[in-house]
Amino acid sequence: MKLIILDRDGVINFDSAQFIKSPDEWKPIPGSLAAIAKLNQAGYRVVVATNQSGVGRGLFDMDTLNAIHEKMVKSLAQVGGRLDAIFFCPHTSADNCNCRKPRAGMLHEIAKRFNADLTGVPAVGDALRDLQAAITVDAKPYLVLTGKGKKTAADPALPPDTQTFPDLAAVVTHLLAEK
């Protein structure tokens, strides 16, 4: 089974320092939805793992988060793409949970759900915490320069094996060329 793990905000859709708090605020990064559809066509199972502390902060509720994800899923379907699962952490960093990246709880849940070893599985993110979670489970970290990516690329704590690409579409082009 070919599996890939994607962060949401800053990878699939534009991010906001004020959080994505409604379906209207969710806007795909150009090329990201088509890139996911290409992964689907190449036989990849595509899973999203996203921190959503806006829920824990009271900025939006679970119904709103579900509506945002529904818009993402419908937008993907319009270009022939799909997600196999969406995992999210609704907690704030003060909650000290195991699922919030950079901890790897969500990734362990993905491994369990898909009965998969995550060693070498591509994990795409725009923030250092995405890459740190990937390294914890021996997944292969890919940094995109969209979202927080340009700032992350300059971080001295960037995991040494991280491959950097302009956006998700470039990551997908690279992965599909490897096969």
d(CA 35, CA 77): 12
Catalytic residue among 7, 15, 126, 130: 7
Which ranges in the chain belong to alpha helices (H)?
32-41, 53-56, 62-78, 105-114, 128-136, 149-153, 168-178
- What Å distances lie between residue 136 and 47, 131, 139, 172, 174, CA to CA? 17, 9, 8, 22, 23
Q: Percentages helix, strand, coil for the chain, rounded to the nearest 5?
A: 40, 20, 40
Paired with 123 in beta bridges are 5, 141
24 belongs to the catalytic site = no
161 belongs to the catalytic site = no
Catalytic residue among 9, 15, 126, 130: 9
Q: Which residues are catalytic?
A: 7, 9
